Amino acid sequence: QKEVEQNSGPLSVPEGAIASLNCTYSDRGSQSFFWYRQYSGKSPELIMFIYSNGDKEDGRFTAQLNKASQYVSLLIRDSQPSDSATYLCAAESYNTDKLIFGTGTRLQVFP
């Protein structure tokens, strides 16, 4: 069974701090990894994707991938109250068309 695991949270950080969200995956065949943001009652919205080991930065967001440890993380710098949402980690394996999602980590950024 291919799984993506996340701590459900909530993760509470003060405004301006760095939020660190983590994810592990079980399928070594996973090739691409995604971070989605989901506000309550809304659809997932893609923030970042990563498929190479190392870091990938986009604005305030940095995704990190370590395939040897089967670990993906998302750092949000200068966290804002508007970043408060559930962050979903997802993995896609080679030669498949589906995303396997984790349960998501709820992030709360307080002023």
Partner 1 sequence: EPEVTQTPSHQVTQMGQEVILRCVPISNHLYFYWYRQILGQKVEFLVSFYNNEISEKSEIFDDQFSVERPDGSNFTLKIRSTKLEDSAMYFCASRDDRNNEKLFFGSGTQLSVL
Least Å from the CB of residue 8 to partner 1: 10
How many angstroms separate the CA atoms of 19 and 47, rounded?
14
Least Å from the CB of residue 103 to partner 1: 5
Least Å from the CB of residue 66 to partner 1: 19
Nearer to partner 1, 2 or 60 (CB): 2
Nearer to partner 1, 51 or 71 (CB): 51
Distances in whole angstroms, Cα of residue 72 to Cα of each of 14, 26, 84, 91, 110: 23, 12, 20, 10, 25
How many angstroms separate the CA atoms of 64 and 49, rounded?
10
Residue 22 burial (CB count, 10 A): 16
Nearer to partner 1, 14 or 31 (CB): 31
Binding site for partner 1 (CB under 8 A): 32, 34, 42-46, 49, 88, 90, 96-104
